[in-house]
Amino acid sequence: MSFETLLDGKRYYVTPHTPKTTMLQKQLQNYGEFLGFIDSNKKADDILVPSQIKEPYDYILIYSPNHDRVIYKSIKRVSQEKKLRIIKEDGAKYKILDKPPLQFMDNFIFTCKEVFLSICARYHDIFTKREKILFISKSFIGSNNYALFVYMYKQGLPVVLATDNKEQAETLAAHGLPIMKLDSWKFYEILGKSAWIIQDQGNWNGPFHKLSAHQKTVQLWHGIPLKRLNVLRTTVYDFHISPSNYVNETALAKVIQAKEHLNLGYPRNDMLIKEHDDLDLALCDRKLYDLAKERFENGKKVFVYMPTHRESLEDSLPPLDFKVLDEVLDKIDGVMILKFHAFAVAKLDTSKTYENLYFHNALGDIYPILKYTHTLVTDYSSVYFDFLLLNRPIIFYAYDFEAYHTNMGGFVYDYETYAPGLQVNNREELIALLGQEYPPKDISFLKSRFFDFHDDLTSRRILELFKDKNG
């Protein structure tokens, strides 16, 4: 069913209020009558708490990739179930559901797994000494999680990585790495016996409250945020690890709840400096890695373009003429590796081929390639903070600055001050810059603020933390 069919002549609310739902609402503005957002945690003229919902209305649209089950359950207390519709991301499209599929059975199984986890955790409190280190990666395996996981595996530690990404799991299993299926019964058994549980995103909202007080949870997160984040209210971690005290004070400690916020660095940034082996490159496109390394070491231009994810599925591809870009790169003997979000990749015309443009797997790990990148092209992505460690040029292609800045409710850091590079607003300006040499910028001030360490020893520091806390 399309939005046009569902909402024609209808009155509706949207919940919760996030950048994703504000972008969705812009696409729905020609359908029906929008009554406002529903969100228990925010206040504004067009944002209501659930108890303020007023009749008459026809639908409440729920759009939250990680929390729709909880929101559905909460809204159902004040609304008729037949008026609730869940919106899902289906490739590069939206999908409308009448209700959570198999909700009763899902809830029953989840409750059983909670009980099972509680029993496992108490059993290992009494009868065993915990040693297992469990990494959790929902949807995709993040670069911080993977870098630390591989480092600890090489040290001979009893690690295991749980994921529901079948393709990446098969790739790592083929390399002999210990991988398991996320949310399986075996996973909950391992969760209950692990000494350390580590994530680098906040999208797995499992029953952390059932863990033992003797188990330790760690949130690595996935980068320094330029855009504002919502508070992660579901979990209080034992440790949150970031690259600097400044980042904690100005951004992450405000949204990630933890008993201790430690400034040890991001494991993925070790990949910008260290020498790589086969395990480091398991999730990286090896052909593109070899191409970038060979060209970089021979003094030839290697560009990487990594735009941040747009919250709108309709605007996921940047305004670029790939044919013209390919021709310009040919003239300057350069290549560009592009890494887009999966929604953007779904809109690419894969029938076209280029001589100097290469597309990296959307969920792959491009950080090893950044070591051999001459110039980074990005916009608001956290990757640019990390790239500061290499003291190389950055081009900021901010073609939708006003719209993006407004939708995100502003940025954490002033863009003019904290985006140290050449800023362009359209594709013509971007293409004109590619063949030029850029005067060096003094970024020492920014590096000292955002990074307490400028080395490839982050994973070692985190391991020392584990050893210290284990006694």
* DSSP per position, 150-167: HHHHHTT--EEEEES-HH
Q: What is the per-residue DSSP string for 314-375?
A: TT-S-S--HHHHHHHHHHTTEEEEE---HHHHTTS-TT---SSEEE--TTS--HHHHTT-SE
Closest by CA to 284, choosing from 234, 337, 350, is 337
Give the pLDDT of the chain (471 residues) as one tens digit per residue: 789 999 999 999 999 998 889 888 988 988 999 999 999 887 777 799 998 998 899 999 999 887 887 888 889 899 998 999 999 887 667 889 877 666 666 778 888 999 999 999 999 999 999 999 999 999 999 999 999 999 999 999 999 999 999 999 999 999 999 999 999 999 999 999 999 999 999 889 889 999 999 999 999 999 999 988 888 878 999 999 999 999 999 999 999 999 999 999 999 999 999 999 999 999 999 999 999 999 999 999 999 999 998 776 666 688 999 999 999 999 999 999 999 987 788 778 767 889 999 999 989 999 999 999 999 999 999 999 999 999 999 999 999 999 889 888 889 999 988 998 889 999 999 999 998 887 767 889 999 999 999 999 999 999 999 999 886
Query: What confidence tens digit (pLDDT) does each residue in 109-134 have?
Result: 888 999 999 999 999 999 999 999 99
What are the φ and ψ backbone dihedral angles of 402, each rounded to 5 degrees?
-60, -45
Does this model's pTM top 0.85? My answer is yes
Per-residue model confidence as pLDDT tens digits over 146-195 = 999 999 999 999 999 999 999 999 999 999 999 999 999 999 999 999 99
Q: What is the DSSP letter of 181?
A: E
- Give the integer Cα–Cα distance in Å for 232 and 20: 16
In contact, 367 and 280? CB cutoff 8 Å: no
Segment (H or E) for 394: strand 394-397
Does an H or E element contain 133, and which? strand 133-137
Element (H, E) at 144: helix 143-154
Q: What number of helices (H) and strands (E) belong to the chain? A: 18, 19
Structural element, H or E, at residue 145: helix 143-154
Q: Could you tell me which residues come within 8 angstroms of residue 337 by beta carbon, excluding any fewer than 6 positions away?
A: 288, 292, 302, 303, 304, 305, 358, 359, 360, 366, 369, 373
CA 265 from centroid of its chain's CA atoms: 17
Which residues, listed in sequence order, are joined to residue 397 by a DSSP beta bridge?
Answer: 424
